[in-house]
Amino acid sequence: MTATTPAPQTGVLQRASRFLAGQLRQIGLFIALIVIVVFFEVATQGITLKPINVSNLVVQNSYILILAIGMVMVIIAGHIDLSVGSVVAFTGAMAGVMITKWGIPWPVAAVLCLVLGALIGCWQGFWIAYFKIPAFIVTLAGMLTFRGLTQITLQNQQISPFPDGFRAIGSGFLPDLGGGVSFVEPMTIVLGILSAVALIAAGIRGRLVRRRYNVEDEPMPWFIAKTAFTTVLILLVAFLLASYRGTPIVLIILAVLVVAYSAVMARSVFGRHIYAIGGNLNAAALSGVKTQRVTFLLFVNMGVLSALAGLVFTAQLNLANPKAGDGFELDAIAAVFIGGAAVTGGIGRVTGAIIGGLIIGILNNGMSILGVGTEFQSLIKGLVLLAAVAFDVYNKRRSGK
């Protein structure tokens, strides 16, 4: 008799290997994040993961992460937006003028700035979607236009200070339920536990749904390892934040945006249409996708998120500055590509863009702590971006073979 390997076991191993090969980009992203954190934790002699530094990382990179959420949607659709930094500056300038000079209450001014961001998105989306002018050209013009409008609005001067309520958007924290006497801030711990439980429940629910329709290809050991890692990460961050001043208000804003936009991209018709347009514009149009409308709404959304980032940045600095937002578009675009989006469109995730933004933020933070000059910081970030895109191209070629 000839001994043979059981066919079912071979099939399971083959499916597992195919799944892991398909997830190589995401796995590599998490490994890169862990390696960078561990490296800077050792190099800075423990400063990187100190509670105060973790809190600062969240607050100081919040506006880039907000921009990255909108930018990944734009890039998935095969476009790009170079104007976001200037829109951040312009909306921040308008907030400064409305609050400090016109005497408008800051909540009203904040809403008006978001409406202004939507109008800016309408303006740019109209030329891109209906006049078929490439997004690169339209948003390049927007970058120059809104930078000029910022300087005109502020008359090349800074505006400060802002009310405490407005400043809390960018640098405030949720109330300390422990009264400042407890070892850790209780609300942050509770939020961390609830977030971890929600993540586990969502993962199990999604797996059961996929099994019901016989489309589950994720190996159980990998599902358990991925869920356990993410849960531990959430609880660790919650503990570190609770050991300082608790949960930054801007983190709540970010969490709501990530959950909402992840759901839009994964479960809504609008999200599927964005992927379809980025994958093949002509095929999407022939399939009945209203490509012009989707493109228009994409840039309206990008304008609103840019305005929100402008409010957060201005509130954080307690200052409206003519030079605000300089280079933000480059950091947002880099975060998206480092986070796994394809250069040609059609591929990308909101969570990937957030991880890409965190990688850039940790690089900036760690190199600043080590005293690395800005010229070398730019060099290193450029090489990291190039490596990420090269890895994406390599994966596509390997998949093609």
Is residue 145 over pLDDT 80? Answer: yes
Residues 198-202, mean pLDDT to the nearest whole number? 91
| CA angle 279–361–113, rounded 5-degree value | 75
pTM confidence score: 0.91
Residue 15 lies in a domain: no
The predicted pLDDT at position 28 comes to 76
Residues 273 and 235 both lie in one domain: no
Q: What is the DSSP letter of 204?
A: H
Cα–Cα distances (Å) from 134 to 124, 228, 285, in that order, read 10, 44, 18
Residues 96 and 123 both lie in one domain: yes
Please state, as a whole number, how many other Cβ atoms lie within 10 Å of the Cβ of residue 168: 17
CA–centroid distance for 174 within its chain: 22
Share of the chain above pLDDT 70, in %: 91
The predicted pLDDT at position 177 comes to 77
Q: What is the DSSP string of 345-396?
A: SS---HHHHHHHHHHHHHHHHHHHHTT--HHHHHHHHHHHHHHHHHHHHHHH
Residues 259 and 376 both lie in one domain: yes
Is residue 269 over pLDDT 90? Answer: yes
Please state, as a whole number, how many other Cβ atoms lie within 10 Å of the Cβ of residue 93: 28
Among residues 217, 247, 277, the one where a domain terminates is 247
Residues 152-170, mean pLDDT to the nearest whole number? 92
3-class SS shares of the chain: helix, strand, coil, % to 5: 75, 0, 25
Residue 57 lies in a domain: yes
What is the spatial distance between Cα 70 and Cα 340, in angstroms, rounded to a whole number?
15
Residues 352/76, Cβ–Cβ less than 8 Å: no
Q: Which residues contact 165 (CB under 8 A, 6 or more apart)?
A: 106, 107
Instruction: Look at residues 90, 242, 201, 211 and name the one whose alpha carbon lies nearest to residue 151.
Output: 90
Both tokens of residue 23?
């997830």
Is residue 326 over pLDDT 70? Answer: yes
What is the spatial distance between Cα 133 and Cα 126, in angstroms, rounded to a whole number?
9
SS3 320: strand
What is the spatial distance between Cα 154 and Cα 131, in angstroms, rounded to a whole number?
32
Residue range(s) defining the domain that contains residue 155: 44-172+249-400
Number of domains in the chain: 2
Is residue 304 over pLDDT 90? Answer: yes
Hey, what amino acid is at 245? R
Find the range with the poorest average confidence among 20-34, 83-97, 276-290. 20-34
Residues 183 and 257 both lie in one domain: no
Torsion of Cα atoms, 204 then 210 then 211 then 215, to 10°? -140
Residues 289 and 359 both lie in one domain: yes
Residues 232 and 295 both lie in one domain: no
The count of residues in the chain is 401
Please state, as a whole number, how many other Cβ atoms lie within 10 Å of the Cβ of residue 256: 10
Residues 152 and 195 both lie in one domain: no
Is residue 398 over pLDDT 80? Answer: no
pLDDT confidence tier of residue 389, bands split at 50, 70 and 90:
confident
Name the one residue in this structure whose structure tokens are 């402008």.
310
pLDDT tens digits along 21-66: 666 677 777 888 888 999 999 999 999 999 999 999 999 999 999 9
Among residues 247, 281, 307, the one where a domain terminates is 247
Residues 66/314, Cβ–Cβ less than 8 Å: no
Residues 376 and 287 both lie in one domain: yes
The predicted pLDDT at position 135 comes to 95
Instruction: Look at residues 103, 132, 90, 79 and name the one whose alpha carbon lies nearest to residue 277.
Output: 79
What is the spatial distance between Cα 151 and Cα 321, in angstroms, rounded to a whole number?
9
Residues 240 and 313 both lie in one domain: no
